[in-house]
Chain A
Amino acid sequence: MKGRIVALYGPVVDVQFKEGLPRIYEKLITYNCEGNKVAMEVSGYCGEDKVRCIGISPTYGLRRGDDVESTGGPIAIPDAASITGRIINVLGVPVDGKPSPENVEHFPIRRVMLTRKEAVGVEEPEMMVTGIKVLDLLFPLMKGSKSGIVGGAALGKSVLTLEIINNITKILKCPCVFCGAGERTREGNELFFELEAAGVLDRVAMTFGQMNESPGARFEIVNTGITLAESFQRKGEDVLLFIDNVYRYIQAGSELSTLLGRIPSESGYQATMVSEVGEVHERIRRQWGASITSVEAVYVPADDLTDPAVVTILAFLDASLVFSREYIKLGLYPAIDPLRSASSFMSAVIVGDRHFNVGQEVKRVLRKFEDLSRLVAIVGLEELSDSDRRDFERAKRIRSFLTQPFFVAEAYTGKKGQYVPLEQTIQGCEKILRGDYDDIPEDRLYMVGALE
């Protein structure tokens, strides 16, 4: 089918067709005045002979009256197995300078199911040990779960993500999909070389729709990422899916919504936000006998945890790791605030009594520490009762012990990365809580791995 451009506002393009109309989500192709290919996706109809499209490629240089060709289906991307160790864009085209894989199956990134057939599978709780002390102890990563890494700008979300990939792919040999949505291109470049250096590149398929790309690309990239993960699932492989950053997906949706002239909802977000977030999260599920474990970085605009987009995303997640600016100021990395974070898997039934009890005790002393430190700031440490003072000192040591040098952050910290087995983490905390380390200055527990 051939049509022509009749109207354009930024990334929104109206195309008129003489005979028949393409379906919603169908990919259309045209060329700009400098001869570059421009892909668009149908987002709706306007009138009987026109479709409204969003540009997946930049729409600069598109001319009024130019020809547009429909491709007969949605964007389709190659099987993840054919592009592991490589990078594709939202359209499934490799962007690493190497040729496209040939003769491989392609999957559409949008699957429209008018009726739902299969039932949702239940996951047996199975813990994936990350070797990161604070995660394993308090917020265990479970197979098939969805975890959020929540925090404002520059708090270290991406570093934690990288460390998890590094540790999980090396130890569990799980294939991994990294979906870069609306973040820095430089980070994508570094991720590639870091994964290569860590020797795990061949287990990771990557797709990027970064912050310089059109809102259409940043919006659809999440679907491209999930489709990649699904193609591992189709072969019965459990897969780890990283989305960095899922907030950018909503942000791109909100840009599109204003550009499409829709009435905005709370704080200017799109009216369709909840269903958009639901749509992608419901796609991340057990299928073909295999699971997807997703870890999603969630950016918090203006450090406001009550932002409607953040609240909506969190509603779909099983665990949330909240990063704190206060911790950064104190030099505590990873800056996860244990008291603001939560996990629905932290129960004795799932992790066992000992793990659960140590975790609870750690949270208790940290909670007490928060109260006491306000008091100490006013009256001084000397005025505390002996038991309070003991808890105060032990909490400080726990806080130090839960910091950790990361493999992927060696360049920043100048310290060698440390993988800590779960048993060592639990044991270390037990010892500190018991008072074995009362006489040792807290700096000695700062940025170390397991305790000697």
Chain B
Amino acid sequence: MTIPLFEVKDSGRIKEIKEGILLLEGLPTCIYGQILKLVGIEAYGMVLGFDERLVSVLPFFPTAGVDLGQEMIVDREFFRLPVGESYLGRIVSALGIPMDGKAKIKEKETLPVFYEAPGVMERQPLTDLFPTGIKILDTMIPVGKGQRELILGDRQTGKTAIALDTIINQKGRGVPCVYCWIGGAAANLAKVLKILTESGAIEYTAVISADASSSMGEQYLAPYVAATLGEYFMQKGGDSLVVFDDLTKHAWMYRQISLLMGRAPGREAYPGDIFYLHSQLVERSGRLSEKLGGGSMTFLPIMETLQGDITGYVQSNMVSMTDGQIYLNSELFNEGFRPAIDIGLSVSRIGGKIQPPALKEVSKGLRLGYLQYTELLRLMRLRTKMSDEAKEKMRRGEALTTMLMQGVAKPVELVEEVMLFFAFSKKVLEILSPEGRIKFQNELMKYALENTPELVEKIKEKCDLTPEIQAELTSMFGDLCREKEIF
């Protein structure tokens, strides 16, 4: 009797369970990175390595329910994930299994989960702004399409809010977003989902969930899966955004796996390849060359600091591999400055070159002016006498601070940013009273749309401040202040 070849599947039996790692006997032709499946159950594991006798498998399920001697068979030779549009609006596990009670995701196209990042000449320099709708970011710490910008800060300083605002701001821009939840409480993810649903952002967002209750393997895997999904959209020639919330927990999970596998601990007990763990992930973002379609994938990884220490080991590793960081300061947060971005310690390595001309023009000198103002504030605690020049700097600084504050889930359009900061550059705001400044900000966009819609269109279209537009803007500011009695 002959058995048809295609029915023979390589299989192995669980010989040992070592603290969350399975050791199997059999599988003579197993492959590194191969996906195995428990016979008869929808439970999977990945081959981490093998020697002459045993195969180590990282299970994506709790090992407590497994019996010794249970059989695992090969499910997929090379770890590929079905990818496609149907993930948008859905919540799936790290293995792409729906977690929202809706139908199974069926996509034919697949991409490898551990994809090699695009090489040196497969990319092109970043040239376009990825609008976050957050005033501080778009003007002073601009994020480019294809950039990876780390969001860093103590717990409860508004890190997730920055990422969510950025997702919400993509509404109507055709930028699919992937939100990857790693190691956090399921209840907190529910809050995030509520915000995404209420703002309508869920329609163009895929949520990959590996919450704290999921297996160690899934939590390790989730960010790579999220990146694979983002890659699908990038390779189609579009722009995509992937948020990792957060990678500190991912690092903890990898440390756990490594220590369980008996690898030597290094600094802070992290394994030697902790850098590589994240570097191979973040390198997958970028902007592809025109030959490859010119698509981009922007990453916003989130990491938590302890007591404001940005020099922590995994945190500073991440800083050294991203293209800049947004640092959220708990003191600013408590003082009521929202978003609590520490402008002095935040940076975008891509810089102003990606800003459209108008935005670049009005953002000039803002950062330095703001930093000088905070320095002056510090000195003022000791000195009472102030030169006229210092007084002027103080006034400008105060006006700027009012302008930089922004509520949660209220992204600001690029046009509004340009108009507002143009007003600031023309010193319109500093002559107003504190109440006047707030009123000016609140009324500006509404007033402009009602009274000078063609001017708004012109700025949108060209995004350049020609002398003519400048004159029109200045006169519009005058009218606004007069009509609405702002002083």
Q: Does A440 interact with chain B (Cβ within 8 Å)?
A: no
Please determine whether A302 and B316 come into contact, CB atoms closer than 8 angstroms: yes
Using CB atoms, name the residue of chain A closest to B378: A377
Q: A8-B50, A154-B349, A212-B283 are in contact. List 13 more A-B contacts (CB 8 A).
A: A60-B33, A61-B78, A87-B120, A95-B120, A154-B320, A185-B123, A189-B120, A254-B272, A255-B275, A258-B263, A268-B272, A331-B371, A377-B379
Q: How many angstroms between the C-alpha atoms of A304 and B309 in the bound complex?
A: 13
Please determine whether A184 and B27 come into contact, CB atoms closer than 8 angstroms: no
Q: Does B23 interact with chain A (Cβ within 8 Å)?
A: no
Q: How many angstroms between the C-alpha atoms of A186 and B286 in the bound complex?
A: 7
In the assembled complex, which residues on chain A have CB atoms less than 8 Å from the CB atom of B320? 152-154, 299
Known contacts A192-B121, A264-B266, A331-B371; is-contact A210 B283 (Cβ 8 Å): yes
Q: How many angstroms between the C-alpha atoms of A63 and B126 in the bound complex?
A: 38
CB distance from A304 to the nearest CB of B (A): 7
Known contacts A60-B114, A189-B125, A331-B371; is-contact A412 B29 (Cβ 8 Å): no
* B window 120-134: CB within 8 A of A: 120-121, 123-126
Please determine whether B51 and A414 come into contact, CB atoms closer than 8 angstroms: no
Using CB atoms, name the residue of chain B closest to A89: B119
Known contacts A95-B121, A208-B120; is-contact A184 B283 (Cβ 8 Å): yes
Q: Does B200 interact with chain A (Cβ within 8 Å)?
A: no
Interface CB pairs A-B, < 8 A, 12: A63-B32, A96-B120, A186-B123, A188-B120, A190-B125, A211-B276, A211-B280, A268-B266, A268-B267, A329-B344, A331-B367, A377-B379
Q: Mark B339-378, 1 if CB is under 8 A from A, else 0.
A: 0000011010101110000001000100110010000000
* A window 73-115: CB within 8 A of B: 87, 95-97
* A window 1-52: CB within 8 A of B: 6-10, 14, 32-34
Please determine whether B313 and A302 come into contact, CB atoms closer than 8 angstroms: yes
Q: Does B52 interact with chain A (Cβ within 8 Å)?
A: yes
Q: Does B116 interact with chain A (Cβ within 8 Å)?
A: yes
* A window 321-372: CB within 8 A of B: 328-331
Q: How many angstroms between the C-alpha atoms of A331 and B112 in the bound complex?
A: 43
Q: Mark B31-45, 1 if CB is under 8 A from A, else 0.
A: 111000000000000
Known contacts A264-B264, A378-B382; is-contact A411 B27 (Cβ 8 Å): no
* A window 201-221: CB within 8 A of B: 208, 210-212, 215
Please determine whether A189 and B317 come into contact, CB atoms closer than 8 angstroms: no
Please determine whether B272 and A258 come into contact, CB atoms closer than 8 angstroms: yes
Please determine whether A331 and B368 come into contact, CB atoms closer than 8 angstroms: yes
Please determine whether B119 and A95 come into contact, CB atoms closer than 8 angstroms: yes
Q: How many angstroms between the C-alpha atoms of A258 and B272 in the bound complex?
A: 6
Please determine whether A212 and B77 come into contact, CB atoms closer than 8 angstroms: no
* B window 360-403: CB within 8 A of A: 360, 364, 367-368, 371, 379, 382-383
Q: Does A257 interact with chain B (Cβ within 8 Å)?
A: yes
Q: Does B158 interact with chain A (Cβ within 8 Å)?
A: no
Please determine whether A6 and B52 come into contact, CB atoms closer than 8 angstroms: yes
In the assembled complex, which residues on chain B have CB atoms less than 8 Å from the CB atom of A95? 119-121
Q: How many angstroms between the C-alpha atoms of A10 and B47 in the bound complex?
A: 10
In the assembled complex, which residues on chain A have CB atoms less than 8 Å from the CB atom of B78? 33-34, 60-61
Q: How many angstroms between the C-alpha atoms of A7 and B32 in the bound complex?
A: 10
Q: Does B293 interact with chain A (Cβ within 8 Å)?
A: no
In the assembled complex, which residues on chain A have CB atoms less than 8 Å from the CB atom of B311? 152, 302-304
Using CB atoms, name the residue of chain B closest to A36: B116
Q: How many angstroms between the C-alpha atoms of A184 and B123 in the bound complex?
A: 12
Please determine whether A185 and B351 come into contact, CB atoms closer than 8 angstroms: no
Q: How many angstroms between the C-alpha atoms of A184 and B316 in the bound complex?
A: 15
- Summed over the interface, the residue pairs from A and B with CB atoms below 8 Å come to a total of 188
Q: Does B319 interact with chain A (Cβ within 8 Å)?
A: yes
Interface size on B, residues (CB 8 A): 71
Which of B116, B123, B270, B383 sits near A58, CB closer than 8 Å? B116
In the assembled complex, which residues on chain B have CB atoms less than 8 Å from the CB atom of A87? 120-121
CB distance from A30 to the nearest CB of B (A): 12
In the assembled complex, which residues on chain A have CB atoms less than 8 Å from the CB atom of B273? 10, 215, 255, 258-259
* B window 50-75: CB within 8 A of A: 50-52, 55-56
Please determine whether B272 and A255 come into contact, CB atoms closer than 8 angstroms: yes
Residues of B within 8 A of A (CB): 27-33, 48-52, 55-56, 77-78, 112, 114, 116-121, 123-126, 146, 263-267, 270-273, 275-276, 279-280, 283-284, 286, 311-313, 316-317, 319-321, 323-325, 344-345, 347, 349, 351-353, 360, 364, 367-368, 371, 379, 382-383
Please determine whether B368 and A185 come into contact, CB atoms closer than 8 angstroms: no
Please determine whether A63 and B30 come into contact, CB atoms closer than 8 angstroms: yes
Q: Does A288 interact with chain B (Cβ within 8 Å)?
A: no
* A window 262-276: CB within 8 A of B: 262-264, 267-270
CB distance from A377 to the nearest CB of B (A): 7
CB distance from A269 to the nearest CB of B (A): 7
In the assembled complex, which residues on chain B have CB atoms less than 8 Å from the CB atom of A212? 116-117, 279-280, 283-284
Q: Does A65 interact with chain B (Cβ within 8 Å)?
A: yes
In the assembled complex, which residues on chain B have CB atoms less than 8 Å from the CB atom of A10? 48-49, 273
Residues of A within 8 A of B (CB): 6-10, 14, 32-34, 58-65, 87, 95-97, 152-154, 182, 184-186, 188-190, 192-193, 208, 210-212, 215, 251, 254-259, 261-264, 267-270, 299, 301-304, 328-331, 377-378, 380, 411-412, 414
Using CB atoms, name the residue of chain A closest to B389: A441
Q: How many angstroms between the C-alpha atoms of A330 and B316 in the bound complex?
A: 20
Q: How many angstroms between the C-alpha atoms of A158 and B323 in the bound complex?
A: 12
In the assembled complex, which residues on chain A have CB atoms less than 8 Å from the CB atom of B118? 185
Which of B31, B286, B313, B345 sits near A33, CB closer than 8 Å? B31
CB distance from A42 to the nearest CB of B (A): 18
In the assembled complex, which residues on chain B have CB atoms less than 8 Å from the CB atom of A378? 382
Known contacts A184-B321, A329-B344; is-contact A302 B312 (Cβ 8 Å): yes
Q: How many angstroms between the C-alpha atoms of A161 and B271 in the bound complex?
A: 30
Using CB atoms, name the residue of chain B closest to A63: B31
In the assembled complex, which residues on chain A have CB atoms less than 8 Å from the CB atom of B119? 95, 185
CB distance from A160 to the nearest CB of B (A): 14
CB distance from B361 to the nearest CB of A (A): 10
Using CB atoms, name the residue of chain A closest to B381: A377
Using CB atoms, name the residue of chain B closest to A377: B382
CB distance from B360 to the nearest CB of A (A): 8
CB distance from B362 to the nearest CB of A (A): 13
Q: How many angstroms between the C-alpha atoms of A59 and B31 in the bound complex?
A: 10
In the assembled complex, which residues on chain A have CB atoms less than 8 Å from the CB atom of B272? 254-259, 264, 268, 270
Known contacts A60-B32, A61-B32, A258-B264; is-contact A154 B324 (Cβ 8 Å): yes
Using CB atoms, name the residue of chain A closest to B144: A186
Q: How many angstroms between the C-alpha atoms of A35 and B18 in the bound complex?
A: 33
Using CB atoms, name the residue of chain A closest to B262: A261
Q: How many angstroms between the C-alpha atoms of A267 and B48 in the bound complex?
A: 26
Please determine whether A211 and B30 come into contact, CB atoms closer than 8 angstroms: no
Q: How many angstroms between the C-alpha atoms of A328 and B52 in the bound complex?
A: 54
Q: Which 7 A-B pairs have the closest CB atoms?
A: A268-B266, A212-B283, A258-B272, A411-B353, A153-B320, A211-B279, A412-B351
CB distance from A139 to the nearest CB of B (A): 23
Please determine whether B283 and A211 come into contact, CB atoms closer than 8 angstroms: yes
Please determine whether B323 and A414 come into contact, CB atoms closer than 8 angstroms: no
Please determine whether A7 and B51 come into contact, CB atoms closer than 8 angstroms: yes
Using CB atoms, name the residue of chain A closest to B313: A302
Q: How many angstroms between the C-alpha atoms of A257 and B263 in the bound complex?
A: 10
Which of B126, B286, B382 sits near A380, CB closer than 8 Å? B382
CB distance from A60 to the nearest CB of B (A): 4
Q: How many angstroms between the C-alpha atoms of A46 and B6 in the bound complex?
A: 37
In the assembled complex, which residues on chain B have CB atoms less than 8 Å from the CB atom of A304? 311
Using CB atoms, name the residue of chain A closest to B319: A153
In the assembled complex, which residues on chain A have CB atoms less than 8 Å from the CB atom of B121? 87, 95-97, 189, 192
Please determine whether A9 and B279 come into contact, CB atoms closer than 8 angstroms: no
Using CB atoms, name the residue of chain B closest to A409: B351
In the assembled complex, which residues on chain A have CB atoms less than 8 Å from the CB atom of B319? 152-154
